[in-house]
């Protein structure tokens, strides 16, 4: 069975759109609460909760992450930039896993995989530091051989293959090529003993193809589940995605 990590960042995006200036993140008129969303997601079958604590704190806030750590009963996956400040933060928080992602202030959302080749030394240092305290490191990478091979060489236990290029190509003639790129990447990662996760741009439509990528352990899905939840509620949205993932 493929597991589902629900990325709840966009619940915080909605809250920050109205209550950015408030000194607190919850209570009184402040809504919606990402922690409530996380608990309801778990109740509907989410296998883990993912948040990206960005340097600019545009959606998820520090207080959200602490409350999640105290509240959820599945796994907390912290997406973060590979910086000394975030490594220190993760060591204090003790999430179940960290996922290293690239961060660029201008981007609307994470736009490409982390370039492990260019960031080799600091990625290796982060993997080793996390390993020493029992936190798994996942590397969010493009599904290319050089990135996958180096991830294994650096001792990462997990990779998260970036499905964004495939999702963007879904309605174009490039779709089959992007799907094949993911299939080949997942096969290589598995051969190198990496646990294969995937994420970005996965939807209720493309999931029927995404789930055919071999060796998938977990999918991290945010935007489409949150969008569906506006109409159906989060529990139904999570249940429906889990059903389609494992049809
Ligand atoms: N995985 C990673 C590493 C991400 O950064 C994100 C959010 O950008 C996601 C998964 C979820 O992407 P989406 O919101 O498109 O489902």
Q: Is 131 within 8 Å of 137 (Cβ atoms)?
A: yes
Output the pTM of the full model. 0.96
Q: Give dist(CA 84, CA 45) in Å, integer.
A: 34
| Among 163, 54, 164, 78, CA closest to 126 | 78
The pLDDT score that the predictor gives to residue 112 is 85
Q: Which of 79, 103, 160, 218 is catalytic?
A: 79
Atom number, ligand 1, closest to the C-alpha of residue 201: 15
The pLDDT score that the predictor gives to residue 110 is 61
| Among 94, 191, 196, CA closest to 141 | 196
Q: How confident is the prediction along the chain (247 residues), in pLDDT tens digits per residue?
A: 999 999 999 999 999 999 999 999 999 999 999 999 999 999 999 999 999 999 999 999 999 999 999 999 999 999 999 999 999 999 999 999 999 999 876 666 666 899 999 999 999 999 999 999 999 999 999 999 999 999 999 999 999 999 999 999 999 999 999 999 999 999 999 999 999 999 999 999 999 999 999 999 999 999 999 999 999 999 999 999 999 999 9
The pLDDT score that the predictor gives to residue 103 is 85
The pLDDT score that the predictor gives to residue 40 is 98
Three-state DSSP class for residue 76:
strand
Q: Which of 10, 162, 200, 217 is catalytic?
A: 200
Ligand 1, CB cutoff 6 Å, lining residues:
7, 52, 79, 99, 101, 109-110, 140, 160, 199-202, 220-224
Ligand 1: residue whose CA is nearest its atom 6:
200
| Among 14, 33, 11, CA closest to 24 | 33
The pLDDT score that the predictor gives to residue 106 is 67
Q: Return the exposure string of 96-115: e unless at least 16 CB atoms fall within 10 Å of the residue's CB, then b.
A: bbbbbbbbeeeeeebebbbb
The pLDDT score that the predictor gives to residue 241 is 98
């Amino acid at each position: 069975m493929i597991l589902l990590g629900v990325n709840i960042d966009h619940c915080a995006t909605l809250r920050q759109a109205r209550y950015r200036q408030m000194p607190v993140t919850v209570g009184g008129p402040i809504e919606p609460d990402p922690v409530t969303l996380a608990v309801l997601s778990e109740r509907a079958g989410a296998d883990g909760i993912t948040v990206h604590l960005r340097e600019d704190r545009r959606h998820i806030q520090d207080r959200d992450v602490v409350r999640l750590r105290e509240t959820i009963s599945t796994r907390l996956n912290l997406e973060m930039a590979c910086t000394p400040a975030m490594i220190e933060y993760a060591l204090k928080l003790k999430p179940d896993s960290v996922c290293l992602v690239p961060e660029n202030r201008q981007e609307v959302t994470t736009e490409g995989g982390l370039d492990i080749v260019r960031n080799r030394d600091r990625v290796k240092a982060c993997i080793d530091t996390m390993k020493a305290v029992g936190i798994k490191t996942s590397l969010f990478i493009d599904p290319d051989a050089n990135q996958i091979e180096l991830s294994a060489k650096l001792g990462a236990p997990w990779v998260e293959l970036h499905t964004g290029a495939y999702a963007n190509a879904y309605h174009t003639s490039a779709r089959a090529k992007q799907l094949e790129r993911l299939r080949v990447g997942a096969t290589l990662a598995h051969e190198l003993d990496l646990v294969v996760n995937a994420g970005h741009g996965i939807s209720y439509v493309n999931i029927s193809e995404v789930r055919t990528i071999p060796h998938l352990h977990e999918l991290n899905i945010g935007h489409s589940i949150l969008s569906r939840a506006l109409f159906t509620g989060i529990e139904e949205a999570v249940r429906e995605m889990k059903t389609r993932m494992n049809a």
